Amino acid sequence: MELTEILKLCDHTLLRVDCTSAEIMKLCDEAIKYSCASVCIPPCHVAGAKRYVGDRMKICTVIGFPNGYMTSAAKAFEADDAIRNGADEIDMVINLSMVKDAQWDAVMSDILAVREATRGYILKVIIECCLLTEEEKVKLCEIVAECGADFIKTSTGFSKWGATTADVALMREHSPAEVKVKAAGGISSIEDAETFISLGAERLGTSRIVKIAIQMEKDAES
C-alpha cells in the first residue's frame, strides 16, 4: 500500500497534556502537507487551530478524555463547545464505570447525549478495548451502532495499551458496515498501519506515520 494512501487515513495526533500552541500549528502544517484525514488535538487548542487552518484541514478533538467518567451533560456541553470552536470531528470516551456495572441503557444514553450535540459532524466512540472483556467489546459494537455513531475506536492511547489486531478484527466483525473502525494507540510503523487497514480499520490515530514520511523525505534528500 502506498504511503500516501495510508496518510489519507491518519488522524495526525497530538494529545500530550503539555503540548503548546506552536506544536499544534506544526502538527497542522504537517497534516496539510501530507494530506492527512484530520489533526486530533485537545479541546483547548481547537479554536486557535481552526483560525490557523481554515478549510485546509479537518479538526478533530476529544471529549470526556481520557477517562470517560464525566456526566453525560458535561460531555454533551463539551462536544457542543468544541463544534462552536470549529471542530469537524469528535472522539468521545464511553463511561467505563457504566460498562462494568452492565448499565447498558445508561451507556447508550451517554453516547446519545453526545450524538445529539454533534448532529451533522463525525462522531467516533472510544471504547478503550484494553479494559474490556470480549463480551463487553461485542456488546459495545452493538450499542455504538444503535446510537448512530460514525466510528467505533479502539483506544485513547492513555491506558494500558493501544490498538491490537485482535480488537480491530473483532470490532470490524461485530459492527455493521455503516460504522467504521478507528485504530489508535501504538501504531508505530507502516507495517502496523497496513495490518490494521487490512483488518478493516478506515482511520488511524497516530503521529508516527507522518514522522516516518518526514524522515523518508530527509533520507531521500541526503
Task: Tell me, yes or no, if 33 is annotated catalytic.
Answer: no
State the catalytic residue, choosing from 124, 137, 139, 153: 153
Task: Tell me, yes or no, if 153 is annotated catalytic.
Answer: yes
Rounded Cα gap, residues 91 and 209, in angstroms = 20
Please give the angle made by the CA atoms of 187, 193 and 196, to the nearest 5 degrees: 100
Instruction: Give the single-character DSSP code of 88.
Output: S
State the catalytic residue, choosing from 88, 91, 167, 192: 91
Rounded Cα gap, residues 92 and 88, in angstroms = 13
Phi, psi of 158, rounded to the nearest 5 degrees: -115, 10
Instruction: Give the single-character DSSP code of 30.
Output: H
State the catalytic residue, choosing from 124, 137, 139, 182: 182
Residue 45, helix vs strand vs coil: helix
Residue 133, helix vs strand vs coil: coil
Rounded Cα gap, residues 175 and 95, in angstroms = 19
Task: Tell me, yes or no, if 91 is annotated catalytic.
Answer: yes
Cell matching residue 200: 478493516
Active-site amino acid positions = 91, 153, 182
